[in-house]
Chains A and B, each alone.
Chain A
Amino acid sequence: MSDSEQETLIIKEVELCEICGLPHEYCDWGDFPNECSAAKEPEQEGDEEGEEGEKDAESAPKKSSKKEKVKMASQIQVLRSKRGSRKFVTVVIGLEEFGVDLGEAATLFRKKFACGASTVKAAGGEESIDIQGDLTDEVIELISEKFNIDEDKITTAEKKRPKKAKTAGKAPKNRSSRGMRATITSGMQ
């Protein structure tokens, strides 16, 4: 059955859903199954009927509710991470999802708290704001006041540092990067 070497490579361009980012057939298991199906149906109906008045009336409220729900789902994380043995950095993640310009927010923090604050690009492509000092409570208060964000949507946590001691202890004796399992290569034939 697995004559994979004789087969030819299939190349497909898969369309991803704009709302949940999954291929359309898997929308049901995504983050927003209801929104995805809701978004599909009015489009089809609207195209068939083609009446402007109805379209506007239908699509406008649905769009806004979609946005609200996205907002409901997103959260702001305020993390406190350690720097050195007795210094802290407050990390704010997820502000941009509430339509806040991160650069401006950082400037605001800088002025309000009289300390260093900057936007930092994380490895996941997301940007966060780093504020020098342990300012968790103050930041939450300021965010909720300034940007009209419910305090319930702000979560706090200690940011855990990657365990360095563990990886150091696991230093490989024989670092053979070609140490592939023989079974894996043989399995492909």
Chain B
Amino acid sequence: MFTKFNAATDVSKVTLLKKSIAKKVSNDLVENFPLLEEVVEELVPKKAELEGVRLPDNVELLAVDKEIRFFRWSERDAETGEIDHYPYVPTMRILLKYPNILPRFQMDAGAIKFVLKNQSDVMAPGLTNEQAHMDEVDENTPVALFAHGKEHPFGIGLTIMSSAEIKEKNAGVAVKLLHVLNDGLWKMKGI
């Protein structure tokens, strides 16, 4: 999602959001990531200055006091034509600090190269071998990508199949890559 993104040229608009949105955002976050409940007040303080940053391809970032903390994106439903907003997902900098807020998807060490360097999606075999581990999740769930032998997560993906399905099929793209270390969003320091 942020492979080709360049903070200097691709930001189309930064808008100051209403203060009342903070409450809604924090409610949504707790609903989606229950573990964040303790620290949500820190992440999205009630009196903070919230800004929405519009990027190409219907991606939107949420900045709290000039620091980018969450991102979300929207897609148009092919059948009904309605626009679906996905929920806010924390950025890598937040995930590194709170590594277990998302379900854990651990892949074997050989897969890091492809995901981190080529920014490719995660294929099913990388998640099903002995070194790997998957929390049980449904499809369309944001997950934290870990690697065997590494302590910290290195990416955030969106499952395309449920974990059971990945095990059963064991082929094809299993997790769509959203955000990874060293991509355009990671390099974007603030607004």
Partner-B contacts on A (CB < 8 A): 1-2, 4-5, 7-14, 20-23, 25-26, 29-31, 77, 79, 93, 122-126, 128, 159-160, 162, 170, 172-177, 179-181, 183-188
Contacts and interface: CB of A to CB of B under 8 A. Distances in A.
Given A12-B99, A31-B182, A172-B82, A25 B152 contact: yes
Interface of B: 6-9, 11-14, 28, 31-36, 38-39, 53, 56, 58, 76, 81-87, 96-101, 103, 112-113, 116-117, 134-142, 150-152, 154, 159, 181-182, 186-191
Contacts, number: 152
A173 B116 contact: no
8 contacts: A1-B134, A21-B182, A93-B9, A123-B11, A124-B187, A124-B190, A180-B86, A186-B138
A175 B101 CA distance: 28
B186 to A, nearest CB: 8
Contact of A123 (B83, B99, B191): B191
| 3 closest cross-chain pairs (CB), A and B | A124-B7, A123-B11, A187-B141
B152 to A, nearest CB: 5
Contacts of A93: 8-9
B86 to A, nearest CB: 7
B85 A180 contact: yes
Given A12-B97, A170-B58, A187-B138, 12 more contacts: A5-B34, A9-B38, A11-B39, A26-B154, A77-B8, A122-B7, A124-B11, A125-B188, A172-B82, A180-B86, A184-B87, A188-B33
